[in-house]
Structure formats: structure tokens, C-alpha cells
Amino acid sequence: MKIGGVSIILILGFLNMILILFQLSTGLRWIKVPFGIHRRTGMILFISAALHAFLPTLQIMGEERKGKAVREGIGAAAQSVTVISDAGEHLVNSPMN
């Protein structure tokens, strides 16, 4: 999952870092903003942090599923080779038969 060659997860990580710094600076009153803005950015931070945690989970689950399919495919190919070799030596050595 990429936007312009950059991972969405990485973009969300940088967004979260910026939002955390903003929340910290507005909460400590280094930057003076109305409470409503502080609250809304907190909600945005929550949503982006949840997405930042959820997307890698989906990605890992997809890779595991893909790996399982590849492993099953390799197992099926190995079984077919075993079946051919059990049928007789001449079938394995001669590609024309």
C-alpha cells in the first residue's frame, strides 16, 4: 500500500508524530489555540493512530495467506512429482512418454 512510492504506514507515522507534537504543545499552552481545535486534533490523532496500527496487521495477514498458498502449491507440485516417479522409471527419464 503505497502513495507515490511511499508507504501509507510511513505517512501515517509522520502524521502521528506531528499531531502528537501539536497536542503536546497546545496542551502545555506553548501554542495558544481554542480547546475545540485541541479536541478535534486529538480525535484525528486517535483515528490516524488506529489506522497506523491496523494497516500493518492487514498487511501481515495478507502475506501469511500468500505464503500459505505458495507452501500448498509447492506441496502439491512435490506430490505430483512423487506420483509420476512411482508410476515407473521410464516416465521420469523420458519426457516424450
Whether pLDDT at 79 is above 50: no
What digits encode the pLDDT tens for the residues 39-56? 999 999 999 999 999 999
For the four alpha carbons of 53, 55, 59 and 62, in that order, the dihedral sign comes to positive
The whole domain housing 13 covers: 2-93
Domain count, the chain: 1
Straight-line distance from the first to the last Cα atom of the chain, in angstroms, rounded to the nearest whole number: 47
Give residue 55's identity as a one-letter amino acid code: L
Q: How much of the chain is helix, strand and coil, in % rounded to 5?
A: 80, 5, 15
What is the distance between the alpha carbons of residues 65 and 62, in angstroms, rounded to a whole number? 5
Whether pLDDT at 82 is above 70: no
pLDDT of residue 83: 43
Whether pLDDT at 22 is above 90: yes
pLDDT of residue 78: 46
What is the distance between the alpha carbons of residues 41 and 34, in angstroms, rounded to a whole number? 11
